[in-house]
Amino acid sequence: MAKTKTIYTCQNCGAQSPKWLGKCSTCNEWNTYVEEIVEKKQSSGKLSLQISGNQPITLENIEMAKTQRISVGIEEFNRVLGGGIVPGSLILLGGDPGIGKSTLALQLAMGLNGKKILYISGEESLQQIKLRAERLSKTKSNCLFLSETSLEHILAQSEQAKPELLIIDSIQTISTELIESSPGSVGQVRECTSGLLKFAKKNHVAVVLIGHITKEGSLAGPKVLEHMVDTVLQFEGDTNYMYRILRSNKNRFGSTNELGIFEMRSDGLREITNPSEQLISKVSHDVSGTAIAATIEGVRPFLIEIQALVSSAAYGTPQRSSTGFDLRRLNMLLAVLEKRAGFKLIAKDVFLNIAGGLKISDPATDLAVICSILSSNIDIAINHKICFAGEVGLTGEIRAVNRIEQRIAEAAKLGFSRIYVPSLNKGFDATKFKIDIVKVSRVEEVFKTIFA
């Protein structure tokens, strides 16, 4: 006879405790423990050894099945996945509330022609889904829709419908009868994902799970959720801006360095095939405090506009604010300007913004950041046909960056007349680019050239 046991599980990190705790000792979050009932089966005390039908084999004896990826109607989605959806894979799509996860999933489902798709919604009714589809101007499709929250019913309907793609919106609303806890708890999310994983691998069906985000920005549920799935996609962006970025944090079938860029419109998400032209303001005159950086996100190069504002501190303590750029790195670059270049900014407020609401982590934007700050400080504009690519070290040197040829080619394609690159970047033919390439090794050289 099975014995029932009560344990407490942290909804944030999945840590377990035999008693309720106000604060989790693992993730240091308050009031995250929930009660779960588990059954402990009595053991006979004897170890049973049975040989299953699967036998270990060598690597050369493993037969590779030719699996053709499912190409969706959204090319940016295909790019992030590495060429399309792999049949039998489990994809987790997460993002902030209202960022457009359900819109992207619905466009994905309605855009696949000739494929049988089952869309499970645990958050919306069928009437709400139809209203959203009419707003997207997509009403005719062979996609099947079902509003259901029971895992057992979902698997039964999936076995009967035999879809090629199964979309679950969202995994936090699905529950199974095997666990006596509320939907969205750690145990429910773990068991439901495990059941869908078995179904996907057994029936060779691709499954897309939509997941919620915690207040810290991480995927809600236990961390094992990200380990169980094949691909983890992060849909991010500021709701005050129109641009959305789809990043791949984990991908067993492709690169994790790729990203897709979308524009949120009234009729849904639109792909941005050339982000450089969208992210740079179309101004005919030069304005102080702006600089163009040649950056690379994933394998795609594009140009972004960096805006800086330096003013006298109105209060005793100067402010340091950054939007879309790491604040700690901004403070480091300001220290480099003071120590190595001799610019006194200790009594100045410094505000930095990446135009378009993007979040950039490429260190090659350092050179453009310090140039925009200095431009605003001395109120001298930088020519809008000049761009920068270079990492700034603590000693004031301009360090080499990767894929310099792609950055130069993107700047030349958009009609820029000059680009500043590190002198340590060698091994490329500068004559094949229709742009003036200036190699610099110190930050002082850049300042003397631009603001002479």
Q: Which residues are annotated as a binding site for ATP?
A: 95-102
Tokens matching residue 239:
């709701």
CB distance 44 to 222 below 8 Å: no
Tokens matching residue 110:
């309605």
438 DSSP β-pair partners: 420
Binding site: what residues are annotated? 95-102
What are the backbone dihedrals phi and psi of residue 86, each rounded to the nearest 5 degrees, phi first?
-85, 125
CA gap 62, 244 in Å, rounded: 41
CA gap 25, 44 in Å, rounded: 35
In this structure, the dihedral spanned by the alpha carbons of residues 86, 87, 89 and 95, taken in order and rounded to 10 degrees, is 70
CB distance 450 to 286 below 8 Å: no
CB distance 108 to 91 below 8 Å: no
What would you measure as the largest C-alpha separation in the chain, in angstroms?
A: 86
CB distance 373 to 343 below 8 Å: no
CA gap 104, 98 in Å, rounded: 11
CA Rg, the chain, in Å?
Answer: 26
CB distance 284 to 113 below 8 Å: no
DSSP 271-282: E-S-HHHHHS--
CB distance 206 to 200 below 8 Å: yes
Three-state secondary structure call for residue 432: helix
Residue the block writes with tokens 């901004």: 330
